[in-house]
Amino acid sequence: MTDESKRKLALVFLGPPGAGKGTQAKLIAERYGIPHVSTGDILRDNVARGTGLGLKAKAIMARGELVPDTLVFDMVALRLRQPDAEQGFILDGFPRTVAQAEWLDAFLERELIDNAHNVKVRPIVVQINVDYNQLLRRLTGRRTCPAGHIYNIYLQPPRVDETCDVDGLKLVLRSDDREEVIRERLAAYERQTKPLVDYYWNKGRLVAVNGGSAVRQVTGQMIQAIEQMSAAEVKSGRR
């Protein structure tokens, strides 16, 4: 591994539900050896385990609304302070609002310094763009197996109807993948998350990729964009 690839990375993947953030995050997390931190996954895990946080979040999530910041901030801080996130992380589903982005900037400023390169670690924000109709097909067709494998009945069906290829478990429709909830989630994205694009663009932190192409192609575009921004950061030596 080159010294270049050891730079600490605070990656943020931005894009509407169904843009492929989760899929790309897994691939890119592997590539850099940093964890994929999905706030949606952490919240769903809390709901499934019936924790205090889960009990508070459950009804809000079922309506497709955003869980209050106070709950989400504590949860994210706890996760990003784990030892596996010391070299960086990929955030998927967070931040979703400008208030959350400001909180993240302050958190990074306080807690993440790349001493090896003598730079502060600023977020590299990758926006994944996908056409609205393509998003609807992806989301209404999504089925997941209880162990986490993901299919799409239109685009990537399992070999046997409603059954996971890997473990034979019955596939389910996530309660927030129902069409009326999906429309609300996309509307919430438009309303609340789009201003993030302006926020990060104005700070020079944003790169956009076309998420409509094949998975590996999108991954390639993303890695190229991340490397470019990260190299520029170290070169400019801002601290």
Helix/strand number for the chain, H first, E second: 9, 9
Does 113 contact ligand AMP by CB under 6 A?
no
Q: How many CB atoms lie within 10 A of CB 170?
A: 10
Q: Residues 15, 20, 35, 64: which binds ligand AMP (CB under 6 A)?
A: 64
**Is the distance from CB of 15 to CB of 197 less than 8 angstroms?**
no
Q: Residues 11, 29, 34, 43: which binds ligand AMP (CB under 6 A)?
A: 43
| Min dist. Cβ of residue 24 to ligand AMP (A) | 13
Mapped onto helix, strand or coil, the DSSP state of residue 233 is: helix
Site for ligand AMP in 168-207 (CB under 6 A): 176, 185
Does 35 contact ligand AMP by CB under 6 A?
no
Q: Which stretch binds ligand AMP (CB under 6 A): 93-101, 127-135, 137-145, 220-228?
A: 93-101
Alpha-carbon distances of 125 from 27, 116, 160, 210, rounded to whole Å: 16, 22, 38, 14
Q: Which stretch binds ligand AMP (CB under 6 A): 89-97, 108-116, 154-162, 229-237?
A: 89-97
Residue 239 known to be catalytic: no
Residue 63 known to be catalytic: no
**Is the distance from CB of 100 to CB of 94 less than 8 angstroms?**
yes
Residue 142 known to be catalytic: yes
Residue 178 known to be catalytic: no
Q: Which residue is listed with tokens 């690839």?
A: 5
Catalytic residue among 44, 79, 122, 185: 185
How far is the C-alpha of 167 from the C-alpha of 55, rounded, in Å? 29
Does 61 contact ligand AMP by CB under 6 A?
yes
**Is the distance from CB of 132 to CB of 123 less than 8 angstroms?**
no
Nearer to ligand AMP, 162 or 176 (CB): 176
Catalytic residue among 8, 142, 143, 205: 142
Considering only CA atoms, which of 9, 30, 220 is closest in space to residue 124? 9
Catalytic positions are 21, 96, 142, 174, 185
Instruction: Return residues touching ligand AMP (CB under 6 A).
Output: 17, 39-40, 43, 60-61, 64-67, 72, 93-94, 96, 100, 176, 185
